[in-house]
Amino acid sequence: QKEVEQNSGPLSVPEGAIASLNCTYSDRGSQSFFWYRQYSGKSPELIMSIYSNGDKEDGRFTAQLNKASQYVSLLIRDSQPSDSATYLCAAYGNNRLAFGKGNQVVVIP
**CA 74 to CA 30: how far, in whole Å?**
18
**CA 11 to CA 108: how far, in whole Å?**
10
Which CB, 17 or 106, lies closer to other proteins? 106
How far apart are CB 29 and other proteins at their closest, in Å?
Answer: 11
**CA 57 to CA 93: how far, in whole Å?**
23
Which CB, 44 or 85, lies closer to other proteins? 44
Residues forming contacts to other proteins in the complex (CB under 8 A) are 4, 31-32, 34, 42-46, 49, 88, 92, 95-102
Which CB, 52 or 109, lies closer to other proteins? 52
